[in-house]
Amino acid sequence: MEWEQEKYVKGLTDLIVEAYHEYREIQGTPDAIILHLCKRPGRFREVEAVQRALQQIGDVPYALIHLNDDSSYRLFDTSHATYVPQAGLKVDLGRRNVLLLLDGRIGDRRYRRGVPRVLDISMDKRSTISADEFPRLVRQIYNFARVNWRGFNARAVPVTLNYSYLIARLIVEIGANRWNQVISAGRLRDKAWFL
């Protein structure tokens, strides 16, 4: 078990360092590193990986953001006949925790059925980015929910979560060993179309 944890930390560290250098070559030095996690950051693992990466790349502010798209919260607008709130509604639960409605009403219409999805977003207290930056990061997450190239009826889920889910499903379908062979070949690395 400890061996698997060390593999995870090393793999995440390597990904952060590699992404940092790739970004720096194309865009210049980043102001911060933002990690979106579909689970709460581990007691040591994710923070340790970020700290190891920072030892290699230098001191860069970072934020660990937990995106829970399986929230038990629901939001309603009692002032509208449909009870569906406007898309983008944000409810502050604390300085580092909000609920964000991703696919609510746009104008007076709702373009899909069912209860709108609520995203429970929290910034881990071990993040080195100021909590004052959290509203900007929430807005960025909302914008990521609009960047989905999977078609006209795509779900309103931030691509940082949705593409991760799609990759996980592919790994289950084709098997981890075959997936590792496909990825190490490097042909699909910069191509999101296969998802």
For 33, left (φ over 0), alpha (ψ -120 to 50), or beta?
beta
Closest-CA residue to 124 (of 45, 63, 187): 63
pTM for the whole structure? 0.79
- Average pLDDT over the chain, rounded to whole? 83
- Please state, in angstroms and rounded to a whole number, the distance separating the CA atoms of residues 16 and 48: 12
Q: Look up residue 101 and give its two tokens.
A: 């409605």
Domain at 2-194, CATH homologous superfamily: Ribonuclease H-like superfamily/Ribonuclease H (3.30.420.10)
Element spanning 99, H or E: strand 97-101
pLDDT digits over 109-165, tens only? 777 777 788 899 999 999 999 999 999 999 999 888 877 666 555 567 777 777 777
